[in-house]
Structure 1
Amino acid sequence: MKFLFLLACATAVLHTHYSGHAAQLRRVWMQDHCHHGICTGVEIGRNDYVILSQMPIAKQLMLTFLNSSIAKIPHLMFDTFPDLQVLRMENCSVEVFEKPQFEGASNLMSLFLGHNKLRDIPKNIFLGADNLHTLHLNHNQLRTLHNSSFHALKELQELSLADNQFEQLPLGAFTPLRKLIDLNLGGNRLSAFPRGIFDRNLNLTRLNLARNRFVVFESELLKLQPHLKQLDLSSNELHDLTLNFAVVESVLANNCDMRKLTIYGYVYELELRNNSLRELPHIPHAGNVTSLDVAHNPLGTLQGNPLRRFTGLQRLNLSATGMNEIQEDVFKKQTHLKLLDISANSLYNLKFPIFSNLKSLQYFYFQENNWNCDFLQLLMNSFVKKRDISFMEDTTEPELVDEYVDGVVCWYESNKNTKKCSGEGLSEAALELAIVRNDIKSFMEVVEKKFVKVYRMLDELKMRL
């Protein structure tokens, strides 16, 4: 990049009030810092006076600043680079916006100012950036917004204010953003919104409210959003949550200590990991749910076939839900299921009719259970391998298990009274064979130990002789 970018930095004798002293200036040639749109080692203090080239520098579409300390964006940045479309000043210690900050920024489409030290977004500060589509202000120190903070951003589609210090927002904070699609407010201190805050954001499709302080969430706030695709409420304290939407494609509510969930309207994907659910969500239109993830919830054995209404499921995660058995007809309605995860439970064996309706299954994760080796061998041969279904191996240390069957851990049990792996799908002959195999294995282990002891004694005698 060949351009003149002169930076004159005042010394410590330059004060913000008029002292009458002449300032000492030093010039920095930016071509020494910038190559192919990447600028490194640039330093601009808060009180430094920045002089840009008097001649515009054309066809520079993107500037990225790395390893730089820039307290403020130079005033004439966009006059000097009239074609600039993307400006990345992340992790540059930016502290303030100064008016007129964005004069001449009509071509700017993406502005990334994450991981800086901004504390305030002044009113009307974005005047001039009329075509900005993407604005990231995440990981700053922002505490408040004004009703006119985003004035003029009529084309903005993506806004990230994540990981700041907002406790509340004014009613008109997002009113100018009529084309807003994606809003990220995760990682703040919000516990409530003024009613009507999103009424002008009719195109809003993704809203991230994760890692805030919501105890109650009113879905009425999003009653005017007909195309809502994703709502993330994860890591809030939502013990009893009721959502009422016409349509929402995906709801994420992980790590909420949730005990009860009710959803009216149509929802397609639900991610509810690591909560306190003892029963599946109540969803009148459950037949439309295609993905349900309830891993790490204390659901236990799914008594009464609670999945019977979820007839459209394609992905189901029941990992670490405290199951020690599965009822025979629990997956009877899941003919479209492509992925099933029952890993990290306490399952010993299953009845084979469980799998009879899983005609579409492609991925089956069942590692980290207490499988009986004979049952596991039958499961592999008669279902998993036969149907060419993908599965995952265990990572348990070999000395802690009896055996691996195709990489999945299992244990042998010699007590015939505890054998429960026959089910309706196994013959009496197969059951007897499994029992005999276990008895032979136990006998051989005893004999092996005795032979080892005898050989050891013989070695000792040999040494003495």
Structure 2
Amino acid sequence: MYVRNCLPFLWSCLLISLAATASADEAADADVDSGPSKIVLVSSLEGHCQTEGKVTSCRGFEFAGEDEKATFDLPTEVRIAEDGTTYEVGDEEQSRTLIFENCTFTNFPLRLFYTLEVSELDMRSCGIRFIYWENFSIGADKLVILLLSDNHIEVLPTKTFRGAGNLEFLFLNRNKLGKLQAGAFDNLLKLQYLDLTENRLKDLPADVFAGLKSLRHVGLAGNQLTTIESDLFAHNPDLLSVAMQNNRLREVGEYAFRSSGRRHQMQYVDLSNNPELVVLLLNINATNLTVRNCSLDRVNLYGSVTNVDLSDNRVRELYFPASEALEHLVLRNNSLVQLASLSRVPRLRHLDVADNPSLGQLPDGWRTPHLEMLVLRNTGQVELPLEALQGMQNLQKLDISGNNLTEIDPSAFPTLMQLTHFYIHGNNWNCFSLRNIMDVLIRANGIAYTVDNYDPDFPGEYFHGIACMYRLPEKEGVDSSSSSSSEISASVESSPITSSSDTSEVDKLRDELKAVVQHFDSKFDLMFSRLAQLNEQIQAFEVLNKTVWSQVTLSV
């Protein structure tokens, strides 16, 4: 090793020492301002850390006291070049991943990045409560991924991560954050992913995300937010997804998910499980919008939305003034009574309005030529909406289960032959009509269907797995004082009666009993006719037997 001409080197070392001393004095002043603290130096990683490739895993660091501040003061290797005139400080290895497991740092450690060139830091479940801008002031410019999940952080001070200007992924989920200071995310111009889920946030400061120009995903689910202002994401032109489910939202600004400037298209917005959200008025351009299990009564959506899920609400009024982009709409389990606003949605391909028992018939003039799937399960249908179906030339899957349909006119079969799936179980089918539906329409065209759950006490029949009951075409008068045009059930359970005057229970039971007797009479007649045919065959066989034996001669 050559050490000639090393005067520049000595001067440099002196300058570095002075700078380090000044930094230590500033840190000490800050500690004095914030109260007495105990600085504990960590001068070596030996005994705690193991390195495999570019990953260093550390265990067993314990700094649980609030007054304990771990300060990493690792030695820096100085190497003299062979010519003796130059020197090198530190290793030439690339940035590493640093993981702390089974460690406790009540205060985020100081000078952690000063001698360790770290691109990914994992300090999940380390008991961290306090974090300050000093923790990232020196050497954190190489940091790209920071995982601080499952800690006890309550407050993010202003400019906390200012020294980590290259940070792209920040995980602060499952902490105890109750407040974000204004400017907490200053200088994070490259941050793309921010996870703040499952904290205790009740409000968000104005412009708290304004400086995050590269932000693409924000996770705010599982907090206590009540209001989202219209300009919250106005300065995030690259924002793609926002998750805000499981909060206490009562009000969402109309332009909350619109970025100012150029046309902005979100990919995913989730506002589900906010039980106090009653009205939703949004001007939004998004591919997927999910607002499930809230208390929505009225929904107005402006802009361009492709896929919308509003299940499990109380929606009665629904408006899509600009519905040209809508392709997938789910409205299960609401309080809908009409769908007039959806009768002309040119690109709609999937419509699910199941479990809206007061919906009734679809409106006339329905025109959704690209619709491929229509779910009308448990929507109070009493007859097939044939006129609406004629405007659905590409319909492949139709679900009318769980309604009160009794028959389908065979003249409608050509309209339904294009189906690949036809779910008709859970209705009040007349067996005569069901036989035609199954044999002529469904099974003949290879259409998939589902069956009813078998009930041994069901008074009717199961035809190819679908429950049905035989009904008379009209009611036969038993008492001249009562008349009705309704059908009579062939079982003890009768069909709905639409007579203008109420029929007594005795008359109904008498009529139903008569229908049951007639039904079984027809069964017995069929059985007796088959027995008669069998008897004729046996008699013919006996005649043949006598004829043969009369012409046979036995000789011994």
Q: TM-score, normalised by structure 1?
A: 0.71
**Residue type of the partner of 1:363?**
H
Q: 1:368 to 1:187 in 2, by over 3 A?
A: same
Using the TM superposition, give the Cα deviation of residue 385 of structure 1 relative to its aligned residue in structure 2, in angstroms.
Answer: 3.3
Distance 1:242 1:172 in 2: 19
1:193-230 deviation digits (Å, cap 9, x = unpaired): 456554527424243333443433334xx2xx5x4323
Distance in structure 2 (CA, Å) of the matches to 1:166 and 1:374: 58
- Contact 2:97-2:120 at 8 Å conserved across structures: no
The answer (yes or no) to whether the contact 2:317–2:336 under 8 Å persists in 1 is yes
One-letter identity of the residue aligned with 2:249: L
- Provide the identity percentage: 24
CA distance in 2, matches of 1:97, 1:234: 31
CA distance in 1, matches of 2:113, 2:122: 16
Q: From 202, 207, 218, give the equivalent of 1:159.
A: 218
Report the TM-score, using the length of structure 2 for normalisation: 0.61
For 1:333, which of 381, 384, 391 is the aligned residue? 391
1:286 aligns to what SS in structure 2? Answer: coil
Q: Distance in 2 between matches of 1:307 and 1:207?
A: 33
Match of 2:116 among 46, 50, 56: 56
The corresponding residue for 2:202 is 143
Question: Who is 1:215 aligned against?
Answer: 278
Bigger mean CA offset, 94-103 vs 26-35: 26-35
Q: 1:228 aligns with which of 286, 300, 307?
A: 286
Which amino acid in 2 is paired with 1:138? Answer: T
Higher radius of gyration, 1 or 2: 2
Partners of 1:15 and 1:352 in 2: CA distance: 90
Shift of 1:338: 2.0
Cα distance, 1:337 vs. partner? 0.8
Q: How far did residue 154 of structure 1 move?
A: 0.4
**Contact 1:126-1:151 at 8 Å conserved across structures:** no
Tell me the alpha carbon deviations over residues 278-304 of structure 1, each in whole angstroms, 9 at most, x when there is no partner: 11142474333222211111245416x
Q: How much is the aligned-residue C-alpha RMSD, in angstroms? A: 4.2
- Deviation larger for 171-180 or 152-161: 171-180
- 1: distance between equivalents of 2:488 and 2:411? 17
DSSP 3-state at the match of 2:238 = coil
Provide runs of 4+ in structure 1 moved above 6 Å. Answer: 23-28, 34-38, 77-82, 444-447
Quick check: 1:154–1:178 contact (8 Å CA) kept in 2? yes
1:5 maps to which residue? none
Secondary structure of residue in 1 paired with 2:320: strand
Name the SS for the 1:349 alignment partner.
Answer: coil
Measured in 2, the distance between the counterparts of 1:64 and 1:249 equals 39
**Counterpart-to-counterpart distance in 2, 1:403 and 1:153:** 66
Match of 1:119 in 2: 178
In the TM superposition, what is the alpha-carbon distance from 1:153 to its structure 2 partner? 0.9
2:427 is matched by which residue type in structure 1? N
Letter in 2 for 1:253: L
Give the AA of the match of 2:449.
Answer: F
Correspondent of 1:96 among 155, 158, 167: 155
Q: For residues 173-184 of structure 1, what are the structure 2 equivalents within 5 Å?
A: 173-184=232-243
Q: Which residue of 2 aligns with 1:413?
A: 470
**Mapped partners of 1:39, 1:363: distance in 2:** 55
CA distance in 1, matches of 2:526, 2:374: 40
TM-aligned CA deviation for residue 377 of structure 1: 4.7
C-alpha displacement of 1:83: 5.8
The residue number in structure 1 matching 2:314 is 257
3-state SS of paired residue (2:407): coil
Highest relative contact order (Cα 8 Å, sep 6+), 1 or 2? 1
Question: What are structure 1's unaligned runs of at least 5 residues?
Answer: 1-13, 421-434, 448-465
Which of 48, 52, 59 lines up with 1:29 in the alignment?
48
Query: Do 1:376 and 1:410's aligned partners in 2 also have CA atoms closer than 8 Å?
Result: no
Structure 1 partner of 2:424: 366
Aligned-partner residue type, residue 216 of structure 2: Q
For 2:246, the aligned partner's letter is: G
Matched position secondary structure for 2:366: helix
Deviations 1:70-107 (A, max 9, x none): 43568757977866544444444443324553245444
Letter in 1 for 2:278: V
By how many angstroms is 1:146 displaced?
Answer: 1.3
**Structure 2: distance between partners of 1:356 and 1:255:** 35
The 8 Å contact of residues 241 and 260 in structure 1, kept in 2 or not, is answered as yes
Q: Deviations over 1:254-275 (max 9, x none)?
A: 2332222232222333221211
- Structure 2 residue identity aligned to 1:346: N
Q: Tell me whether 162-171 or 264-273 shows the greater mean CA deviation.
A: 162-171
